Every structure is written in C-alpha cells, then in structure tokens.
Structure 1
C-alpha cells in the first residue's frame, strides 16, 4: 500500500502541470517526506517537502499550519520557501535546497566552531519569533533544523507555531500530536499539557527546546530529558548558560534572546571569528578601511575546518563586489583566493576567473603586484588561451612600469606563465621585454632577469637560444653588482648542456675566465665551478676529434707519422725547441720575398707550417695570381646561400637584435637599444690560416722600432690623403718546405694607392741581440 501511495505521488509530481521534478528521496522527518527536486523552468535545484493527506489525515491541520506560517514568516534564519502547492492528495512545500542537520550531528562531522555558529543563528531566529512575532515555536529540536547549500542552519518544523495573541492557538490543541513530542516536551508540559504555556513565560518552551538542540549538536544523540543534566561534550564556557536553558523551573529559564546576549559578551561562547564574519559580510562594502582590515584579519584567522559552502555562497560574492567595485584592495583579493582554493575547477572558472581577468587590467599598482604574487596558486586553473590573450598582454605593462617593485614582480611572474605561453610570444615579445629588464637601472631586476633566463632557457627556440643566452649571461658577468655576476655564472653552469661544443670553447670559456680574478671570493668560487663544468665538456668533445685534419698523401703514412713530418724531426719536447726546429725546417724551402708586411697591427700572411706556440718569426709574402671566378660559380654559390637561409626557422629579428652581441662594450651595459653605428671597419681579404697562430704578425705588432721605417710596398700613404682601397688579390701556391705534406694557398692583401710603388724592403733574418729579451718578455 505504501508503495502504491508513493507511486501515485510520484506520478502527480511528474505531470506536465507540476512545476517541479522530483529527483530522489532524502529522508522522512516528522510528518514530511523530504525529496530533492529541480525547477522545470530553469533547472535550479531545490527541496520538496511532501505531506500525504490520505496516509496522515489526522495530522492535516499540522501540515497546513506549517505551510501557512512558512509563507508568512520571513527571516534569514528561517528556511526559504519558494512555493506551496496543495491538492486533494498531497501538500507540497518547495524550499531552497536543504539537508537535515541530523545527518551531521549523528556522524559528529561538524567542528565546534561550526556548531557555535549554527546555534547562534537558531537562537537569533528564536529570539525573533518569541519577541518580535510574539509566538511560540513549540517544536525546537535537531529534526526541525536544516542546513542550506551555504552551510547555514535554517529553522523549520512550524507545525504548531502559534501566536500567543490568539485565544485558540494551535499549540494548545495539537501540540501533543507532533511526532516524538513526549520525548522533547519540557517537564511542565509533560506534566500539565501545553495549556500551561499561558501561565509561564512565552519563551520558556522554546528555551528548553534550544537546550535539547545544544545537547544533540555536541553529543550526537538525545534519548530523553534525563540526559540533559550531564553536559558531556558541551564547551565549558557554554555549560552555565546551557543549564539555565534546560532548568526544570520554567520561570528560571534563560530566554533565547538572553542566551545570545551572554554569548556575545567579551570572551563569550559566541565571540568567534566565524560569527563575526557572518555578521559583517553583508556590510563589507560599507565598512571603512579599519573595519575592513579587522574583518579580513578574522577571515585569515579561520582554520581549514570552516564551512566551505558558506564562504562560497555568502562571503565570496561580497568579497568579489568589494575587490572590484568597493576598493577592497589586495588584502580582500587574498581572502577571495583563499576561498577559491576550496573550489572545483569548474566553479573557479565560472565564478572567479572573469573577475581575475578584469583585475589584471587594473591601473592600481598594488592590485597588479598582488595578482602577480598570487599567480602561481591559480595559473593551473586558467586556460592557456586566456593566458596568451588576456593575462600576458596585461603583464607587459609591468616590464616598463616606473615603479621598480612592479617591474621586479613582472620578471618573477614570467616563470609562472612560461609554460602556457606560445613559442611565438616567448621568442618575440617576451625576449624584447627581458632585454630591457636585463639592462634595468635596478641591480636586483638585472639579477632576477638573468635568473629568469636561466630557468626558461629550454623554453626558448633553438634559433634564438644560443645567441640570446650567451649574450645575456656574458653581459651579466661584467655587471658592477656582485650578485648579478654570480647569477650569470650560475646560469651558465645550469645551462651547459644546451650550448654547442664550439660555443663552449670559443665564447663561454673566455667569458668565464674573466671572473676567475673577480674581486669577490664567492664569485671566484662560482667561476671555478663553472669553468670545471665547461672544461669537462670541451675535453670530452676534443677526445672524439681526429688526431689531425691534414690530408695524408704519402702512401702508407699513418696520421701519427704525418703529424711528426709536419712538426719536424726534432726530439726536443719543449715548446721552444719545437718552435725553433719547425721554423728552420720550413725557412729553407720558402719561396718569395721576405717582408715585415704588417698593416694595422695584423699579419698579412703566414705559412701553414708555423707551430701553435713558439717564438714569432717574420712572415713570408708571395706574389700569386688572381683566381678567376666564373659567372656560373657565383650563381651557384648564391643559390646555395639562399637554400641554407631558407632551411632555418624564422626568428624575430627585433627580439634578437635587442640583446646585441656577446662582446658589447661594457660602457653601454645599461642601454639595450644603443646603436653602435660608427665608422665601418675597412674590409680585409679573408684567408685560411690553417689553424696556426700568426706569431710573425703578433711579433711585428709588438715590436717598437727605434726609428721610423718606410712602409712596405703598397702601404705608403697617398699624397692627396685619399683612403686606401681594397681589391681582390691574386693567389699563388707557396711551398711550405721539402718536408711539408701539402701546398698552401696564401692570400695577400694589396693596397691600391695613388702614390708611386715603393720597392719591397729586404728583411734581415738574423736575430737582433739587443731586442730579443724585450720581445719574449712581451709574450710572457
């Protein structure tokens, strides 16, 4: 029969004219069956209290009284009624979505702070019913209280709620019909019936009911009034007031209003941050700065066991309005994010993200810094498209802000957003801004930029990575700020695996060596560690290289024999003996005129046979014929160059140029956009030195002649002061000596002048006794 009744009720609820859809049954409390439901017009969730008239016809006056009182009595602590529907078989009361409080009290899942907060709400509601409405609830218990979606305690159970101004009040006649009324009835009612309410204080029955609610909330269950004498888990500072609520003499009972007043005294049991926040949340936008700071301090003082739903549904909307329109500032935003951390990703994206995106465009520096500080905690919840389209464009203003703290926080925030930026943004716009902060006037910002580049090195494109990082880190090694220099060395050490072996040997190691004699010891120590890292890498690479790159022409000659033949037949292992023997072996076979052909401090030519170290020797200048390049060869070379350039990925030239070169002059350290345009260096004909150092040129540049000497042929200044013109020079093969393995082509730079040619001066190859010591001393 019960199944049939439920089926009929469900069929009625699912009819097309019924505005609600029942989803599932929750519980049965008293005369009502509680169901979860949704509104058909908007799909919003709600609760539906259903009373079956046929099954409980004798209790129909209670159901009708409850429906009438819920519609007419409006208070924040009373369950919110959406609609009441009555027909011949059922009474439906649609309310906000609620959950029975007994679900939580029986499991003891509520914290003490939450229970105090809920009792404060119920007691305040009873105060309103007794004082302002001049009524008696008559059914206060845990079963008459529900929790809303926001976690607030809402009072219901209005089956016998009656105004004492009426002579035929419901409670006098039907009070005993309420289920379990005997177990919860005050002692005087249990002995003399509900009519004794007229003889005592109007609030006495509800005060006793509030005491039973306190007992159930803290202890989990209530079997009868004899248990009330033992407070058990009730907090110590509440016990005295609790005992006055459940006093057997109704005239000595503490009313709900007085109970609230005692709890609100200094040090009272209702003096908790959660209750203060509840009372102050509605007027947050109207508070002055001092009151708002006090409110936020209390919010920060809450532990993680606060009712999350209440803050999501009640506090968060007020915080959002305050931070966006009420000038709440960064402190309010921090509290807002603390609540947002408890949200699901969908809730965060729906409720918080739109406000956050709008705040990033705020001109308030304090708010922008606050957003950057909290960005690590929310970046994972922000979609990548929003980071690229809205957040990073708003961040770029911080790179050039006049306030140093904004620039510094913006640089730090790069590490947070780098994982969600597109490659085009990273290698273009981001590098241009980092080039500016790398030359910032604030040393801390320069240091943080170097650290930032070291951490995002692997996010940079392969085309821009080497040039940008080597230039940036090398420049930081010349920074006057000691921590910037140390950061550059540490960045080099952390990124050693991303540079080519050639760059490590030719660009990075020379830059690091300058720091080996830094004035600060800890910088020198860091430089030594970085040097060891790169030396290990370069040595490992060198061990994989062949012993020689010279071609082996003689049949059966091994590479080792070829090296020995190239070096010479001397057995002296010292560098000086090696250099002298090499020079004498090659000198007798050299052809051409001997000249001191040094112009502008650089050697004009040198032979392939010169050793990698040793005493410098005069250079050999030979006249050779000009090679003929056909038009077809030129076109082929041009096409090959075009193909090589086309194979490289596109790189943002502006972003690359902003970094300059690694060997930029230290005087222009702070100017990322300095145009170093000057007089272009004269063009010189390139030549292959075969990997040998130009000792002859170096020695000629270091020597200081006692008297002016005439310039070699082709280098004399023209009479009319015209500049030197460089033209392609002929090439001629030069024999390196009888023991040399190959013939070398030596280019010669010929200067064209308007003056008459000057005969080439013969150079005496005999060593000079007087100047020998000075020359070697200069080498040392």
Structure 2
C-alpha cells in the first residue's frame, strides 16, 4: 500500500485537530517539514511536552511531534523562569541526539524554536508510562471502596461516588501483559547500562514521565534534562548534585517521588541513584500506578515517607513476580551499596527468557548481517513464537517482518514466520493486517526457496484469502511458476495446484 494511501485516513480524521495544532505551532520551523495531527500523550517534567501524531512531508514517514508551549512556564510568574525551562528542554533534546541507542528515544528532527514554542520530531509514540499509570491509578479509585493514602500508608475512606477523583485528562487506557512489563523493565535496564558504562553519565530523573512507549510497544528512555557527568576515574563514586528545593521551579527539577535518598539528604548521586529510581518505577507499576513516595513536591513529606519506605516496599513485594522481588527490594533500598548495577540487573533469572531474547534480537535485526538474520527468522523466531503472546505478534513482530518483505536476500527466511502468521491468523486478522502485504510477496521476484515456501503453504494462504483475490493475485502467480524452468518449483507447484483444486471443489 502506498504511504500516501496509508496515511490518508490519518489526514482526513485529523483535519480539525491538525488545524488547531498548526495554529499552536504557527511560526515554528518544524511545520515546514512535518504535518502535525492530534495530541495523543504527554511527557517530560510536569508533563510539559505535548505529543502529537504526525508524519514527515517529504516521505510520509510516521512520527510523533513533541510541542512545548512557552506560556506554560509563564504561569510561574517568576522572571527568567520561562527562559530557564526553555533552555533546559532544548538541551535535553540535544542530549538525546548525542546518545544514540536502541533503548533511547530516537530523534527524527532536532528541536526547533519559535517565539511561542519548542518542537521536535521523534519515532512514533503511543504514550508515556506516566500516561498509562495515570489510567491504572484512576481505575483503582473507580473500582475500589477505599483509596490508599500517599506513600502506601493506611487506607482512607473513599468519598461518595459522585466525589471520586476524575480520571486525569492525560491518562491513557492500556493494560500491560506480564511479558510486556518484563521486556519493558529490561529495556530500561539496558538504557541505563548504556548511559552509565558507555555514556559515563547519570540520568537523574528515571521516572514514568521520562519513559516513552512506542507504537510497537518498545520502552524508550528520554527525559535527559538533568543528566550529570560521572567521575571519569571512578564510575562508581558519587558526585555532587543539587537536592530538590522549594526555591526552584518544580519544572526545573527531577521528580521528587522517584529521587534517591542520598540525593535529597546528602546532595550527592551516583549510577546507583538511577537504580533506586528504576526500582521505584517498578514498584509504581505494581502499586496500581501509585509511587510509594507521594511527596506532593514537599521535601518534608518526602522525608516523612522515606522513613516508612522499607516497610511499604516489603508489603508490596507479593504483587511482584517472585524472580523480580529480591532485585526490586534491593534497588529500592535507602542504602546505595545494597542496590545492583544495571549490568548486574540484566543477569537476574527474571530476564532469562527465550521469548525475550527473540524480541531483543528483533529490535536490532537491522544491525545484523544477512546470515544472522536468516538464521534468526528460520530458527530462533519460529521456536520463540509459541511463547510470545498473540498481542505482541501483531504489535511487535509483524511490523518488523513486513519491513523485510522487500529484502530479497532474506525473503525466503522471513517467509517461514510469515507462514506461521498466516496459519494462526483469523480470517479478519488476515484480511485487515496481512492481505496487502501478501500481495506484495506474490508480485515480488523471489528466490527458488522463497517460491517453494509459498507453494508449500498455498493451502493455508488460499484458505484465508478472499475468492476474488485468489483469482486476481494467486492464480497469476501459479501460472507464472509453470513457465519457470526450475524443476523444484514446478513439482511443488503441481502438487499444490492439485491440492488447491481439490479444496475448492
């Protein structure tokens, strides 16, 4: 399907939204290069980045446009704060561009500035983790008769139904599978390992608003506003860093609810401070979206809730997978020396999973050579697919397989898992998600092995294909194959043609 056709629905459905958004972004140079659609999510400090669907005008490539309206900072009513926040956000995008890694948000177009806005383009984003956790937190209030107090304290009586908290506007409805969480936590761990040991920096703001979930379900670390350079001579040593202060705008500081104790109490941080923050993110995920510390931007509240943190972590552990409990408990420890590093965390039993290994390889498959790709598609992925939930088949696997269809060097190998998709897809799934791609396969020049693979599975394909498409797409491919001189293909063709004829009778 041509890219223009693919996005036609996107364009028409968002005309009104796009017009209003373009008005917001008027004067920003990014509108020269990208069409901006409806807002779908938000991220960053105090969720100041509004994330919009979009596409690049030059090639119709799907993307997300991040927009910051400077008037948001003007509400602080303090001189120079708008400039401070603007410069902070600009530098964070520049830092993202510098740290290029599969687990770090990929920037498509650098930050552009106008009098009223900042904007940049990145890979297509579904939501920030903060958006999703806001949905889970609001859902617990809607479903429960009591609401936990801040910091995991004693439950409090729920207000009358009419007075219950409304779902936040930024909440995004989504329910994670266990495997999605496992892979998401591993992706964040790999991102931190890269920053710590290759980038030699401390992130300092690992929290849900700094974590973005792509439309393929991949978790990406962003939010580089507060990155600090490590001590080059000793990566494990602490460095000075400012604690959270009421005298500084909350937009210009890391999220206090996820800040490591040593930062707030001793004005120092290390790579292990990031690990505390990661542990608190994991706890929030399993605590129905609520952080174990809910300081409300109050340092005194933070100090009080820190005293009960160990107890609250202990109470939460039964909700976590057994293989993740010890590591999370150690990450959330107030003692930095008890926390595992990102390198060590990747090695725990929880992450040892053949399905996860297959998903990891798929994320970096474009960096592999033809032989490695072929081996992966023919063997590793086929063996792992029964272990991967169907939801991830369509969300994660299928987009990558589609992207390889035009790669003649690996087409024969790619068709192996594709045929498993054909076999397992419902008629509705095949028609909506696969048929257009399969038409490309039929009309693409193929190797002998690729042709044989199609013919060997022709009965499955015909079973899922609409009768009119069999006539217009599959039969011409069959007739063309009879003209070929390869005995292997012709024999396979004869067998399958006979079988297909029998089925249709």
Name the TM-score, length of structure 2 as normaliser: 0.68
From 64, 73, 88, the counterpart of 1:62: 88
Distance in 2, Cα, partners of 1:340 & 1:319: 18
1:352 to 420, 429, 438: 438
Aligned residues: 399
SS in 1 for 2:290: coil
8 A contact 1:142–1:217 mirrored in 2: no
Match of 1:73 in 2: 99
3-state SS of paired residue (1:74):
coil
Aligned residue in 2 for 1:313? 399
Q: CA deviation at 1:309?
A: 2.1
Which of 4, 22, 41 lines up with 2:36 in the alignment?
Answer: 22
Change (3 A) 1:258 1:17: closer
Q: Which runs of 5+ in 1 are unaligned?
A: 1-5, 263-267, 419-455, 457-780
- Are residues 1:233 and 2:247 paired? no
Greater relative contact order: 1 or 2 (C-alpha under 8 angstroms, separation 6 or more)?
A: 2
Match of 1:40 in 2: 57
Alignment match, 1:161: 227
For the Cα contact (< 8 Å) 2:422–2:430, is it kept in 1?
no
Q: Equivalences for 1:765-776 in 2 at 5 Å?
A: none
Question: For 1:213, which of 281, 284, 298 is the aligned residue?
Answer: 281
Report the alpha carbon displacement of residue 121 of structure 1 after superposing the two structures with TM.
1.1
Structure number with larger C-alpha Rg: 1
Change in CA separation of 1:165 and 1:340 when aligned onto 2, cut-off 3 Å: farther
Taking structure 1 as reference, are residues 308 and 13 closer, same or farther at Cα in structure 2, changes over 3 Å only?
A: farther
Alignment partner, residue 125 of structure 1: 191
Contact 1:129–1:136 (CA under 8 A) maintained in structure 2: yes
The counterpart of 1:280, out of the listed 344, 361, 364, is 361
Cα offsets for 1:179-217 (capped at 9, x unmatched): 67221212222323xx311xxxx3111101111222233
Under a length normalisation based on structure 1, what TM-score does the superposition of the two structures give?
0.46
Map of 1:95 onto structure 2: 122
Q: What is the CA distance between 1:317 and its match in structure 2? A: 3.2
Q: Are residues 50 and 275 of structure 1, via their aligned partners in 2, closer, same or farther at CA, if it must alter by over 3 Å? A: same
Deviations 1:67-117 (A, max 9, x none): 221121111111111221023332112111202234444256111011111
Residue 269 of structure 1 aligns to a residue whose secondary structure is helix
Following superposition, the deviation at residue 155 of structure 1 comes to 1.0
Please say if residues 14 and 22 of structure 1, whose CA atoms lie closer than 8 Å, have aligned partners that are also in contact.
Answer: no
How many Å separate the matches in 2 of 1:298 and 1:411?
Answer: 33
Match of 1:271 in 2: 352
> Do the aligned partners of 1:123 and 1:259 also contact (CA within 8 Å) in 2?
yes
Alignment check: 8 A CA contact 1:137 1:161 kept: yes
Gaps of at least 5 residues in structure 2 are 1-19, 74-81, 137-172, 233-237, 294-308
2:28–2:114 CA contact under 8 A, matched in 1: no
Structure 2 SS opposite 1:133: coil
Partner of 1:385: 472
User: Pairwise CA RMSD of aligned residues?
Assistant: 3.8
In the TM superposition, what are the counterparts of 1:106-121 in structure 2 within 5 Å?
106=136, 107=173, 109-121=175-187
- Distance of aligned partners of 1:319 and 1:248 in 2 relative to their CA distance in 1, 3 Å threshold: farther
Contact preservation (8 Å) 2:415, 2:450? no
Residue by residue over 1:693-733, the C-alpha shift from the partner in whole angstroms, topping out at 9 and shown as x without a partner, is xxxxxxxxxxxxxxxxxxxxxxxxxxxxxxxxxxxxxxxxx
- 2: CA distance, partners of 1:171 / 1:47: 35
Q: Deviations over 1:225-272 (max 9, x none)?
A: 33433224211111111111111101211111110022xxxxx21122
Equivalence map 1:679-698=2 (5 Å): none
Task: Flag the structure with higher helix content.
Answer: 2
- 1:394 paired to 2:481: yes
**Does the CA contact (< 8 Å) of 2:244 and 2:264 recur in 1?**
no
Q: Which moved more, 1:64-73 or 1:211-220?
A: 211-220
Asked if 2 retains the 8 angstrom alpha-carbon contact of 1:49 and 1:94, the reply is yes
